[in-house]
A and B are shown apart, each in its own frame.
Chain A
Amino acid sequence: MGKDVFEVTINCIKLIVVFLMMVQAVPILVWLERRGSAFIQNRFGPNRVGPLGLVQLLADAVKFLFKEEFFPENGTKFLYYAAPVVALVPATLAYCAIPLGHPLQYGEYLFRLQGFDVNVGIVYVLGVSGLAAYAILLAGFGSGNKYSLLGALRASAQIISYELALGLSIVGIILLYGTFNLNEMVAMQQGPLSFSFRGHEILVSWLPNWGIFYQPLGFVLFFASIFAESNRLPFDLAEGEAELVAGFHVEYGGFKMLLFFIGEYGHMMVGSGLLATFYMGGYGIPYITNQALWQTFMDWTQDGQLAHILVSAATFAMFSFKLALCLWFFVQVRWTLPRFRYDQLMDLGWKTMLPWALFNVIATALFIFVAHG
């Protein structure tokens, strides 16, 4: 945690701040979602309640807080109440490991702008977010309702199926960077696009050195998989209103329902954060290395400490921008595409994405072998 009281205190505060950041981003996302849907589908309410539709949030909050607390007749009490909490935990733990900005050098201390630095970052994030399926299963079973159970079974089958494509699409990235550590990955994506091919240095100065240009197929597969993992349209078979009423959370209301919401948005944020980290340079500012950025600020302010703080702030803003862009895309897709049929979903996962992900792994490995040979 740190070598003296000051560092330990800051690190503890950091954990709380990252958690609050995730939870506080949810109202903004809900607002974005409702307003976006209202514009796209010509709905009346959400973009007319108060200035910019912001009062809709207040109305939602009041509704969630004052809903009657109830327990379904055939439910299992322990599982029913445990499920919303379990829904929140994996997303929070995973989000804590994503680097949000350039580590801040403050005097002799080095503070990382993330909840905690994990050496095997990717493995940790995948492992923790894989536990999200239990929240859905617990909710579906604990409610004692057949629609809930069917929704839960659908959702967990889908999550397991797409975890394969997700994991394999990341293998390409791991091969490319040769590390599991998310901070090191971001560090490797600085500056303009440059790599060595059989001893020749190749420099493409008009492109940033981002993973997406090395792994276009991996990017597409990863992008589709995180939609499936977070149970969003076009993969939200678990909630198919026409067939299942509302899926695994039929029997939940009020704040328990809200916890599931936060969990879902948390998974979107983890997915977007990983997408930005793997394929879009993470917190790095395109074309510029962090060292050059610090030098620029140093020339400008003539103060090393202030320049460090400014670098961290600028990279944090950059990461937030990339995250917001990905999240906005999530919302756009949700209100644009129709839902898949269940057999189409399974065919896409097992017969299309899995073989392509395997191909991507082999092609990447061969390319790296040739380029270094």
Chain B
Amino acid sequence: MISDAILFWILAFLSLSAGLTVVMIANPIYSALALVMTMVSVAGLFVTLGAYFLAGVQLIVYAGAVMVLFVMVLMLFDLKNEVYAFTQGLLTNVVKLGCLGLLAGLLAGTLVLSSYQSQEIQDKVVAAADQTKALGQLLFTQYLFGFEVLGILLLIVAIGAVALSRSRGGTHHV
């Protein structure tokens, strides 16, 4: 499929360049907007792989809800002090190098593992119409424990956020 290949290269270029912009640009708002672009193009990549439901959920949850909140909060704050604090200094550089190492390891691991598993996964690809159903059944049978644990984790996070927002303090002392 030549059209799929063309689409893949365009989307891959978009997602990689937007991803690079996220980390290279100094302005946090542009960074967040570039992250939105990355997520939308990754959703496009999901479509080329035939994972339509996953693409839709990626758009609804990440691009449509999570990142809107991020951008909103970033627009609300004046982040000059934080930008200064997080772009200079020895500690920051160490953290940056550490992240780079982790990313490199992750990429190498993915490349090595994908060459082993690709055939096995390709055999398991389900027809597009039944994908959502298969996904739901897997989530509620084989991965039920993980699914429920994640739900409880999110509940704890929500309660924690409410508790934090009620206490005084933070980076901006008035």
Chain A interface, number of residues (Cβ within 8 angstroms) = 26
How far, in angstroms, from A275 to B168 measured CA to CA in the complex? 45
How far, in angstroms, from A127 to B65 measured CA to CA in the complex? 10
How far, in angstroms, from A118 to B53 measured CA to CA in the complex? 10
How many B residues touch the partner, as a band?
20 to 34
A residues 252-277 near B (Cβ < 8 Å) are none
A128 touches B76 (CB 8 A): no
Contact with A along B39-81 (1 / 0, CB 8 A): 0100100000000110111111001110011011001100000
Contact with A along B96-133 (1 / 0, CB 8 A): 00000000000000000000000000000000110010
Given contacts A120-B132, A127-B59, A160 and B65 within 8 Å (CB-CB): yes
B68 touches A127 (CB 8 A): no
A133 touches B64 (CB 8 A): yes
Closest Cβ of chain B: how far from A249's Cβ, in Å? 16
The answer, yes or no, to whether A359 is at the interface (CB within 8 Å) is no
Stretch from A43-51, A54-62, A151-159, A196-204 at the B interface: A151-159
Contact with A along B11-24 (1 / 0, CB 8 A): 00000000000000
B72 touches A131 (CB 8 A): no
Contacts of B68 in A (CB 8 A): 130, 133-134, 137, 156, 159-160
Q: How many A-B residue pairs have CB under 8 A?
A: 71
The answer, yes or no, to whether A149 is at the interface (CB within 8 Å) is yes
Contacts of B36 in A (CB 8 A): 134
With beta carbons under 8 angstroms apart, the residue of A131, A137, A140 that contacts B40 is A131
How far, in angstroms, from A160 to B58 measured CA to CA in the complex? 15
B75 touches A140 (CB 8 A): yes
Contacts of B57 in A (CB 8 A): 123, 127
The answer, yes or no, to whether A141 is at the interface (CB within 8 Å) is yes
A123 touches B75 (CB 8 A): no
Closest Cβ of chain B: how far from A115's Cβ, in Å? 15
B72 touches A157 (CB 8 A): yes
A137 touches B56 (CB 8 A): no
A residues 113-164 near B (Cβ < 8 Å) are 118-120, 123-124, 126-128, 130-131, 133-134, 137-138, 140-141, 149, 152-153, 156-157, 159-160, 163
Closest Cβ of chain A: how far from B129's Cβ, in Å? 6
How far, in angstroms, from A119 to B130 measured CA to CA in the complex? 10
Listed in ascending order, the chain A residues whose CB lies under 8 Å from chain B are 118-120, 123-124, 126-128, 130-131, 133-134, 137-138, 140-141, 149, 152-153, 156-157, 159-160, 163, 167, 180
A-B contacts, 28 listed (Cβ < 8 Å): A118-B52, A120-B52, A120-B53, A123-B56, A123-B57, A123-B60, A124-B52, A126-B59, A127-B43, A127-B55, A127-B60, A127-B63, A127-B64, A128-B59, A130-B63, A131-B40, A131-B64, A133-B64, A133-B68, A134-B33, A134-B36, A134-B71, A140-B75, A156-B68, A160-B65, A160-B68, A160-B69, A163-B65
Report, nearest first, the 9 A-B pairs whose CB atoms are least far apart: A130-B64, A127-B59, A123-B56, A127-B56, A127-B60, A133-B68, A120-B52, A120-B53, A141-B75
